[in-house]
């Protein structure tokens, strides 16, 4: 996203601007079939969590690219952004909800271990 004030105004919410400093490195899956049954559930959870994180990172990058495209289109004849303010806000809320659900599952896993 171009900056926090644009993101908050466009989405109708107060999401902070996020630009990753480094290129995101995809995760490698844990091979559950090589583990004993008690560890297979944990491996499945870790794989799901990694997928969520990777998908969220990809969506954040797409939204940032679209914000840059929107800013460029406002100043000259560059192509229009893919998402309007409503769609951008919906995607940001999807990210928030998805990461919130992942957080809840992580907390459940931690409580189960203690």
The reply to whether 97 falls in a domain is yes
Mean pLDDT for the stretch of residues 63-71: 88
Is the CB of residue 52 less than 8 Å from the CB of residue 88? no
- pLDDT tens digit string along 32-64? 777 888 788 888 888 888 888 888 999 999 999
The reply to whether 77 falls in a domain is yes
The reply to whether 18 falls in a domain is no
Note the pTM of the prediction, 2 decimals: 0.62
The reply to whether 63 falls in a domain is yes
Mean pLDDT for the stretch of residues 60-87: 84
Q: What's the pLDDT at 16?
A: 43
How many domains is the chain built from? 1
At residue 73 the predicted structure's pLDDT band, cuts being 50, 70 and 90, is: confident
The reply to whether 16 falls in a domain is no
Domain coverage including residue 113: 41-114
Whether the predicted pLDDT of 91 surpasses 90: yes
């Amino acid at each position: 996203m171009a900056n926090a004030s644009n993101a908050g105004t466009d989405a109708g919410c107060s999401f902070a601007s996020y630009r990753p400093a480094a290129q995101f490195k995809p995760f490698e899956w844990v091979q559950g079939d090589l583990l004993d049954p008690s560890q297979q559930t944990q491996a499945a959870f870790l794989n799901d969590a990694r997928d969520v994180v990777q998908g969220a990172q990809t969506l954040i990058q797409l939204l940032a690219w679209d914000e840059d495209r929107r800013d460029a289109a406002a100043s000259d004849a560059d192509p229009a952004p893919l998402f309007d303010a409503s769609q951008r806000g919906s995607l940001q809320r999807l990210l928030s909800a998805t990461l919130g659900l992942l957080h809840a599952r992580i907390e459940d896993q931690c409580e189960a271990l203690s």
